[in-house]
Amino acid sequence: MKIKHMLLSSLAALIFIGAAAVPLPQLFVTSDQCISCHNGLISPKGEDVSIGGDWRSSMMANASRDPYWHAAVRREILVRPTVSSAIQHECSACHMPMTRYMAKIRDEKESVFDHLPIMGAESDADLLAADGVSCSMCHQIRKDKLGEMESFTAGFVVDNGAPLGERKIYGPFDVDEGRKALMRSSSQFQPEKGDHIQSSELCASCHTLFTHALNDKGEVVGEIAEQAPYLEWKHSSYYRSQGCQSCHMPIVEGEMPVTGVMGKDRDQFSRHVFKGGNFLIPRILNKYRNELGVKALPQELDTTARRSAEHLESAAAKISIKDVTVTDGRLCAEILVENLAGHKLPSAYPSRRAWIHFQVIDDQGNTLFESGRLNPDGSITGNDNDADKDRYEPHYTAIDSPEQVQIYEDIMGGPDGKVTTVLLTAVQYLKDNRMLPDGFDKSSAPEDVAVRGAAEADSDFQGGRDSVNYEVPVTGGPGPFTVQAELWYQPIGYRWAHNLAQEEAFEIDRFVRYFKDFADSSGIRLASVKKRID
């Protein structure tokens, strides 16, 4: 069977060993080779759970289309133009992993922008780059060294030797010889059971990323864990009970076939929805689908954005009012926030932030005090960092002014100690008070996931929870009073979007335009509570 959209021909792809040229087998195919059989899947409850439909609108499938990533990579290059090739090679590792893996084993550098724009993809390499994090990428990763430091930052291992027809592709189920023969015939891959495909360690290979800061000469001057949800999870109570897939790839209840051709009923089938913390980019992809070469259907992207938001709103956090008193015209309230996730909240890329929006309202509906209001432009009232790129909001144990906001975030710093959102400038975290998962002991946390800043000494900031005391005057209005507290979240904070505009480029201008278009809906409320005080 003719396989479309292969990465180069096996006659043209060569690895040079000494003076000898050895043919490099075709390693990857585009997702259409897999989706054709793994669609049309209906759960016992009658829901369409097709792998292709779920995956196609996910951030995994659209990793190389992500306009924020395009803008961020361009900015890094403009800041360090002399090392553009090295920057693009590293930044393509998890967003264009198939073409980057091929470049790596050829001892070459991958180029991000050579494969853009996506809608112009025609060559085999461009089509594979456009496919993002695809089927034949993840399902070919071997268990070698997974979970070890060497496997992080896209250090996964794929068999470089076997030709198509003999290449193994791993899944969670045993496959009989008849179905193996059918799959070899249709896709030229040989299915094999591999329990590691459902392990958190597999996810960790791309979702544990270390970034190296460079000087103007391209020399490494420092390193930070850009994102480390796996290491956060490993230091929590979830480590022995729940893995990444249990939340991000939920199990379908009951038995069902996982292929539309000669399907066999399977139990514990994982949906390929990849529910996560990014509801914003799917919305942007949908609105600007023609500019970004999006293949997923509008309703699929709508579903992905809604599913991500609903997951965040129902399973990320709780907020409660522990105690409220009013004495001599002063209201004191203790607000407790609880992290329900198996890693820090927020986790992953440092553009993400969560914060408390606190209000005291009088009996006439007038707001007497407010901290943490989200503005239409995506900024937070009172946040030092949104007002000034060189400052940031500290961690608080008590708040008594509208200019103070409890923001759970990680703030990067350069070698000079100045705040930065340039990854290749950052060598440290000046602040990391992101909410800790249950069981996380901050006193023994590994360096890469340690708490930074004033939260280190805050005894109320512990695994799974944080409490903040609000002390505000209420003499300006009649009682009774209503205290309302909400936990809000943004996948891309105001400063992370607007700092891009310090450099000028097409990709940067485009994303800043996109962000401004969605700024008033760039945040969602994760949890809320209110209490009337008579």
Residues 451-479 pLDDT 10s: 999 999 999 999 999 999 999 999 877 78
Identify the bridge partners of residue 213 per DSSP, sorted by sequence position. Answer: 222
Contact 423, 211 (CB under 8 A): yes
513 C-beta neighbours (distance < 10 Å), count? 11
- The model's pLDDT over 436-456, given as tens digits with 9 standing for 90+, comes to 999 999 999 999 999 999 999
Q: Which of 13-17, 145-149, 355-359 has the lowest mean pLDDT?
A: 13-17
More confident position, 3 or 346: 346
Quote the CA–CA distance of 494 and 505 in Å, as a whole number: 19
pLDDT at residue 19 in the model: 34
H or E element at residue 72:
helix 67-79
* pLDDT above 70 for 234: yes
HSE, side-chain direction, 13 A CA sphere, residue 19: 0
Pairing relationship of beta strands 14-17 and 20-23 according to DSSP bridges: antiparallel
Q: Is the pLDDT of residue 3 over 70?
A: no
**Per-residue model confidence (pLDDT) at position 534:** 85
Q: Rounded distance, CA 449 to CA 138, Å? A: 26
pLDDT per residue as tens digits for the range 504-532: 999 999 999 999 999 999 999 999 999 99
Instruction: Assess contact for 324 and 331: CB atoms under 8 A.
Output: yes
Owner of token pair 């198996």: 342
Q: Which residue has the tokens 């089938």?
A: 269
Spatial separation of the C-alpha atoms in residues 303 and 297, rounded to whole Å = 10
Q: Answer whether residue 21 shows pLDDT above 50.
A: no
**Which long-range contacts (C-beta less than 8 Å, at least 24 apart) are formed by 248-254?**
248/203, 248/273, 248/274, 248/275, 248/276, 249/273, 249/274, 249/275, 250/275, 252/43, 252/44, 252/49, 253/43, 253/44, 253/45, 254/43, 254/44, 254/45
Position 164 pLDDT exceeds 80: yes
pLDDT tens for each residue of 415-434: 999 999 999 999 999 999 99
Percentage of the residues of the chain whose pLDDT score is greater than 70: 96
Task: Please tell me the predicted confidence (pLDDT) of residue 196.
Answer: 97
Distance CA(494)–CA(510), nearest Å, equals 16
pLDDT band at 41 (very low <50, low <70, confident <90, very high): very high
Residue 11 pLDDT > 90: no
Residue 217's pLDDT band, with cuts at 50, 70 and 90, is: confident
CB within 8 A of 107, min separation 6: which ones?
none
Give residue 232's pLDDT.
Answer: 98
